[in-house]
Structures are given as structure tokens and as C-alpha cells.
């Protein structure tokens, strides 16, 4: 604004001179309307059109307000004036004041012709808030969708003798580029990265003098193609000259050094040293030192003369030797302390073992009631036995959803499809009092059941259940409508804690209406049975896995005293004994075998409800034969079951990765007598496929009967979860 004011007057004078007119002077100067002379008489310049006088520069500059010497001071306010008053002639009393000529607008007749002829020049400026700030695209911004590429080959030298070529290829920048680059500079940059990679890999094996150099050159007779070569020179291999551990005394005295598998003369190999240090961090918390901290190692290299060695020093803060104290808790009160104390597999005062702390956390996770759970040792300062310090375990609980839906699906020849869906509320009756509803829908089985289950009932992995169910089973052997009410106590193995001895016992009240073949009448009739049973089971297990054992054996005995009421009371005893073994021939082949025998004493077969008899055949019995098809048959060719059973099976389980192939041979039969026989065995053979998952193998078996009877199928198919035994 100040610049415009200072240049306005000279510009007007110059414009007048360019038009060939000079300011009027002398007696012919124009007069004012009152007949007085204009300011031109006093030496002021006059506009030729008779407008306000033009103020001389000296008067104009004198009228300006003084300027501040502070360059940061705010601008002086401008006086407000409308265009109309500014354009009018100034009255005589104000002739001495400076006149400010406003900026011309599109409406002024004094504008250049281009401004009035082009409406775009007269258009108001766009508001800043809506102004498009996107920069204009230049030629440099245009990207070629198909830029030219050069191709190159990668050559590695010097690392194959150290068996590092595989690691180099997996990490190489040149390899990652796929043999393509935008230009030679990019290839050179990748080659320099691989130089540093080669040096790091050599140092990781103890070759601290190792060097690498890369070259990029044009391949002869192949214009436009490059060869990138990385050449590595390992140099000398450094070995440990000493192994020193700086730590307070521990019990036993060699606990740290024994679990740090490093010795003088070992190569200074990074993976080996890191593994040894990790072993200290792992083992000491299992031997009473939960707060151990392995410090930063120091390796002092020495390349004097012909020796290339390094002195290794490791600081270890073992912390106090500790024993288990009490459980404490915070967070959501899913379980109180009384129920939390059901889970530990240790007693207060036992030497601290991190594996038992992990086991406690895993058992709490397995309840399915937590969104998050943490178990952390806390120092207390309380003395424990054998000079230890007691540490409490802080259990931090975060509540999770208690409800869940589940289901299973399977198929086998003879049973057809079977699908089961369950709804579970795991903590409807705290602690861990679950209500479970189940629906079974299958081609030959349908049913409903409701179960109340108290898990970890006063003891870890001990379960109490009350079961009520209604089922319909339609098999070749019988058609039955059955209602059951039972109670059961069990002490079970789990994938977290597989136990040597497990057991179960309970009571059942069964009412069933079943079809049965009456040999005296030579026809099928329906009969109603009332059954009271006291089933029990005990198992001894030395196998190495609950779901997929590879070594060991299992022995299981089932015993169930029962009374059948069907016109009269008939007590009897059902027994079953089973043994399985698992022998690893190699790391990928396991031989598995099974033998089972059952007997029912104290009752004739025809007085037994068909659903309580023994049958052979099917996916869990002798594969190749239909479900329950082995044993005596009625005149219509349907099985009637027996009072005894024997079964044998052997498998060769070959596993490769997550897959497996299992050839097998099964044998067995059921008999009318109360004791099984060794004759008249039926054999089946086949092959199965396995897909191993983290919750157990998926099983698909195909089998055929080797000595079939009339009515037996040629091929049987079985699909389920888990091994056959």
C-alpha cells in the first residue's frame, strides 16, 4: 500500500505528458466554480479533466504518518473511504490534503480494453477455502507403466565350503530382486548389500576376518544382461580360548556351567553360543531360580601370531533360590482362591519349577473361561525350606465368554453319517458347573441329551456328571428307543497332563424298548427292558501321547454289574479287558497293536437287551465288516450279538510331514457263549490315510473283508478323528 501511494502522482504526470498535454499555468488557468483560481495558481498540478488537484510529492510525503523503526510493528490502519467519495473532487478546504486514487475496477472506463473485453479478467478471485491446491503434473511425474528393465545373473563364490550358500540365497537382495532391475545402479546397490550379508554370515560361524567383494559386469555375447558376482573369503576360524561365568554361588555349584555347553576350543559360532545362553535361561527357572537374568556376553578377540581366539565372559544374575509360596489373584474374579488351589501340581515349600508354573497356566486356559490368564512369580522375602525364599504366584484373570457351540461329523459304512451339535455354558453354576445340551442327527442314530458337569470337582481333572438322554438307534442288530439317567465320577487324562492311572465309576438307570429276534417264535418282536447298572473303568497308561501315541502301552479294564428287569430280575456282570502297544521302528514308522476280549456272565443271551450284548465289526472293531455285523445271525441274516467277544489288530503307521499312510490287518468275532473262542475269526485288511493336526490326526480308512460271509460288503469306509486305537 505504501508503494502505491508513493508512485501514484508521478504516474499521473507521466500519463499527461504522454497524451501531449501539459498542466495549465498563467492567466488562462481554469477557474473554480466560484471564479477563484484553482490550486494551480499556487504551484499545484491540475488534472486536465478538471478533477481534484494532483498533490506535489513534497506535500504528499509530508502528509504521510511517520513510520516506526521497528520492522515487526503492525501496519498503520487505513482510513475507510468509498469509491464514490474518492473519485469526487476535493473541496477547497481540503486541497492541501493528499488525495488517494482508488484501484480501478472493471467498471472504470479508464481500464485497458482487454480487461473489459475479457470477462475472465473481471471475474472475482476464488475463495482460498475452495482453491484447488493440487500441483500441476509435469513431464517428470508421468510414470511409464512398462519401464525398461535390465536382467542380471547372480553368482556366489566362497560360501559353499561353509554350508552358508543356502542361508545366503534365502536372504540375498540380489536373489530377492528376481534377476530384474531398473538400471545398473540398482544392481550395484543390491550387490553391496549382499557383500555385508556375506560378511555377517561368516562372522556368525566364527570367521571374523572374513571379507567379501562384489562386481557387476556385462555378460559377453549377451548385450543388456549383467552378471553380479559376490566373492567371499572366510579367513581364519576363531575358537574360544576361555569360558568365564560371572555369577553368585548357586545350588548345586555347577548348575550354570553344567547347563552352559561351551568349552575351550569350540568355534565361536553365534547360533551355538546363543543356544547355550538360552539353555541357562531355560534350565535355571526349572531348578529353583525364577528370576535369573543372563547378561550381555563379552568376547575379546585375539589374533596374535598364528592364533585366532576369543575370551568369552558371561555375567549371570541368578537371583534368590526359591520355593513355591501361595497363590494370589487380581483382575476378574472368575475363580476364587479356593478353586484356584485345585489346579497346582505342587505343594507350598516345593522347590520352584517353571514347568509347574506353566502347567498351572495351561490348566486354567483349558477351562475355556478366560480371555486372558497370566501366572507370574512374585518375591516375598519370606524364608522357605533349605534356605530358599518363598515366591507367591500372582494369577491375573481376565474373564472370557462362558458359552460355546461345538460339533462333530463322521461317517462309516454300517453306521452312515453321524453329526452331533452341542451347546455349552461352562460356568452356569460356579465354579465350573456346566450345562451341556446335545443333539445327535444321523442316518441310524438320533437323540437329545442334557448334562450337568462339574469339572475339577475338588481335584484337578476329576469330573462329576449327571446325564439324562433320549435316543433312537436303528441298526441291523436292533431298533431301540432308549432313555437313560446316570451319574458318573471320573479322573481323566488330558493332553496337558496325561496320567498313568485313570478311572471312572457311576450308576445308570436305563429304560429301553427294542426289537429282538425271538428264536422260540422265529420272529422279531419288541420288548421293554429296565436296567440298573454300576459301570466302572480303570486304565494304566505308559504311552507318550494321548491322541497320537508312538511308544508305550495301555491296559484297560471295564466292569459293570447290572440287573435286567424283563418279566423277571436277572443280574449279570459285563466285563471287557483291552491292551494296546506302540513300538517305534524308526522316527517315521510305528507298529501299533491291540487285543480285546469281553465276557458277560450270569444271564442267557436271549434274556439280555440287544443293546447290552457284544458285537464285532466296524471302524473301532474289525474293519472291513459292517457295524455290528460280526457274530451270530438270525434267519433273516441280521446280527443278534453275543455274550463274548475277541478282537486283534496290527497297524504300521508311516508318517511323512503332516501326512501318513497306515496299512492294517484286523481280526475278531463275537460269540453266543460267555467266553470267547479262538476259532472262527474273521479277518479284514486295508489301508488308511492320516492328516495330522494340532488336535489329533484325521483318519480315513478303507478296508475289505478277507473271509466274508453272505451279505458282507466288499469295501468299507471309515472317517473320524483320532487313531483307530
> What's residue 97's pLDDT?
41
Backbone angles phi, psi at 544, to 5 degrees: -95, 0
Dihedral (C-alpha) 671, 677, 678, 684: value to the nearest 10 degrees?
Answer: 10
Which of 306-310, 366-370, 686-690 comes out lowest in average pLDDT?
306-310
Q: Which residues touch 104 (CB under 8 Å, ≥6 apart)?
A: 110, 111
Lowest model confidence (mean pLDDT) among 164-178, 301-315, 458-472: 301-315
- Cα distance between residue 187 and residue 183, in whole Å: 7
Contact yes or no for 661/612 (Cβ under 8 A): no
Rounded CA separation 293/321 (Å):
13
> DSSP 3-state assignment of 601?
strand
pLDDT of 379 higher than 70: yes
What's the mean pLDDT when you consider all of the chain?
Answer: 85
pLDDT given for residue 619 in this prediction: 86
Distance in angstroms (rounded) separating the CA atoms of residues 405 and 423? 5
For the stretch 212-236, pLDDT in tens is: 999 999 988 877 789 999 999 999 9
Per residue in 19-61, pLDDT (tens digit) is: 333 334 443 444 443 444 444 444 444 454 555 567 777 777 7
Supply the pLDDT for residue 678: 80
- pLDDT tens, residue by residue, 660-687: 999 999 999 999 999 998 888 999 999 9
Kindly report the three-state secondary structure assignment for every residue of 367-423: CCCEEEEEEEEEEEEEECHHHCEEEEEEEEEEECCCEEEEEEEEEECCCEEEEEEEE
Residues 710 and 95: their CA atoms lie apart, in Å, by 136
pLDDT, tens digit, 9 for 90 and up, residues 256-296: 999 999 999 999 999 999 999 999 999 999 999 999 999 99
- What is the rounded CA–CA span in Å between residue 426 and residue 435? 7
Q: For residue 24, what pLDDT is reported?
A: 40
Model's pTM, two decimal places?
0.71
Amino acid at each position: 500500500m505504501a508503494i502505491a501511494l508513493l508512485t501514484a502522482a508521478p504516474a499521473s504526470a507521466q500519463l499527461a505528458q504522454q497524451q501531449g498535454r501539459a498542466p495549465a499555468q498563467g492567466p488562462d488557468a481554469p477557474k473554480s466554480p466560484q471564479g477563484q483560481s484553482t490550486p494551480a495558481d499556487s504551484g499545484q498540478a491540475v488534472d486536465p479533466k478538471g478533477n481534484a488537484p494532483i498533490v506535489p510529492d513534497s506535500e504528499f510525503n509530508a502528509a504521510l504518518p511517520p513510520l516506526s523503526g521497528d520492522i515487526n510493528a503492525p501496519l498503520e490502519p487505513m482510513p475507510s473511504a468509498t469509491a464514490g467519495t474518492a473519485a469526487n473532487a476535493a473541496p477547497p478546504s481540503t486541497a492541501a490534503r493528499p488525495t488517494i486514487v482508488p484501484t480501478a475496477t472493471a467498471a472504470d472506463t479508464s481500464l485497458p480494453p482487454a480487461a473489459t473485453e475479457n470477462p475472465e479478467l473481471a471475474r472475482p478471485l476464488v475463495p482460498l477455502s475452495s482453491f484447488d491446491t493440487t500441483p500441476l503434473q509435469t513431464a517428470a511425474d508421468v510414470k511409464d507403466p512398462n519401464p525398461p528393465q535390465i536382467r542380471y545373473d547372480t553368482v556366489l563364490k566362497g560360501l559353499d565350503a561353509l554350508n552358508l550358500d543356502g542361508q545366503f540365497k534365502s536372504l540375498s537382495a540380489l536373489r530377492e530382486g528376481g534377476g530384474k532391475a531398473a538400471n545398473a545402479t540398482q544392481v550395484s546397490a543390491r550387490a553391496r548389500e549382499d557383500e555385508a550379508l556375506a560378511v555377517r554370515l561368516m562372522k556368525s560361524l566364527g570367521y571374523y576376518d572374513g571379507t567379501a567383494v562384489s562386481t557387476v559386469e556385462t555378460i559377453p555375447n549377451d548385450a543388456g544382461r549383467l552378471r553380479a558376482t559376490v566373492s567371499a573369503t572366510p579367513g581364519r576360524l576363531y575358537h574360544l580360548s576361555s569360558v568365564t561365568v560371572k555369577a553368585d554361588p548357586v545350588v548345586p555349584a555347577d548348575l550354570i556351567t553344567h547347563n552352559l555347553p561351551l568349552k575351550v576350543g569350540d568355534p565361536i559360532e553365534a547360533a551355538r553360543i546363543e543356544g547355550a545362553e538360552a539353555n541357562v535361561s531355560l534350565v535355571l527357572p526349572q531348578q529353583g531360580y525364577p528370576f535369573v537374568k543372563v547378561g550381555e556376553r563379552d568376547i575379546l578377540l585375539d589374533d596374535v601370531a598364528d592364533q585366532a581366539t576369543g575370551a568369552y565372559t558371561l555375567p549371570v544374575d541368578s537371583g534368590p533360590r526359591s520355593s513355591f509360596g501361595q497363590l494370589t489373584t487380581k483382575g476378574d474374579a472368575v475363580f476364587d482362591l479356593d478353586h484356584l488351589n485345585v489346579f497346582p501340581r505342587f505343594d507350598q515349600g516345593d522347590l520352584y519349577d517353571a514347568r509347574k508354573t506353566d502347567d498351572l497356566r495351561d490348566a486354567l486356559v483349558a477351562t475355556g473361561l478366560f480371555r486372558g490368564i497370566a501366572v507370574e512369580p512374585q518375591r516375598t522375602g519370606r524364608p522357605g525350606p533349605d534356605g530358599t525364599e518363598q515366591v507367591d504366584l500372582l494369577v491375573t484373570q481376565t474373564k472370557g465368554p462362558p458359552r460355546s457351540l461345538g460339533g462333530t461329523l463322521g461317517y462309516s459304512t454300517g453306521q452312515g453319517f453321524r453329526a452331533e451339535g452341542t451347546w455349552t455354558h461352562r460356568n452356569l453354576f460356579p465354579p465350573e458347573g456346566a450345562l451341556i445340551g446335545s443333539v445327535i442327527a444321523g442316518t441310524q442314530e438320533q437323540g437329545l441329551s442334557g448334562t450337568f458337569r462339574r469339572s475339577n470337582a475338588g481335584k484337578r481333572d476329576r469330573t462329576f456328571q449327571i446325564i439324562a438322554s433320549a435316543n433312537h438307534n436303528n441298526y441291523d442288530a436292533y431298533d431301540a428307543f432308549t432313555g437313560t439317567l446316570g451319574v458318573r465320577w471320573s479322573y481323566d487324562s488330558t493332553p496337558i497332563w496325561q496320567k498313568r492311572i485313570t478311572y471312572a465309576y457311576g450308576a445308570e438307570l436305563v429304560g429301553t424298548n427294542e426289537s429282538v429276534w425271538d428264536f422260540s417264535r422265529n420272529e422279531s418282536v419288541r420288548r421293554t427292558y429296565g436296567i440298573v447298572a454300576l459301570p466302572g473303568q480303570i486304565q494304566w497308561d505308559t504311552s507318550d501321547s494321548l491322541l497320537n501315541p508312538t511308544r508305550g502301552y495301555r491296559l484297560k479294564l471295564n466292569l459293570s454289574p447290572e440287573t435286567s428287569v424283563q418279566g423277571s430280575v436277572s443280574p449279570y456282570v459285563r466285563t471287557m479287558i483291552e491292551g494296546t502297544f506302540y513300538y517305534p521302528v524308526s522316527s517315521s514308522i510305528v507298529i501299533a497293536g491291540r487285543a480285546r476280549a469281553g465276557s458277560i456272565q450270569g444271564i442267557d443271551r436271549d434274556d439280555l437287551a440287544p443293546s447290552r450284548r457284544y458285537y464285532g465289526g466296524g471302524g473301532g472293531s474289525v474293519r472291513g465288516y459292517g457295524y455290528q455285523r460280526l457274530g451270530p445271525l438270525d434267519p433273516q441274516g441280521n446280527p443278534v450279538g453275543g455274550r463274548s467277544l475277541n478282537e486283534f489288530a496290527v497297524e504300521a503307521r508311516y508318517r511323512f510331514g503332516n501326512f501318513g499312510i497306515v496299512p492294517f490287518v484286523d481280526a475278531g468275532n463275537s460269540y453266543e457263549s460267555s467266553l470267547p473262542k479262538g476259532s472262527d475269526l474273521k479277518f479284514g485288511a486295508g489301508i488308511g490315510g492320516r492328516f495330522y493336526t494340532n488336535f489329533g490326526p484325521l483318519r480315513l480308512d478303507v478296508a475289505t473283508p478277507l473271509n466274508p460271509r453272505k451279505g458282507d460288503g466288499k469295501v468299507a469306509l471309515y472317517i473320524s478323528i483320532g487313531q483307530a486305537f
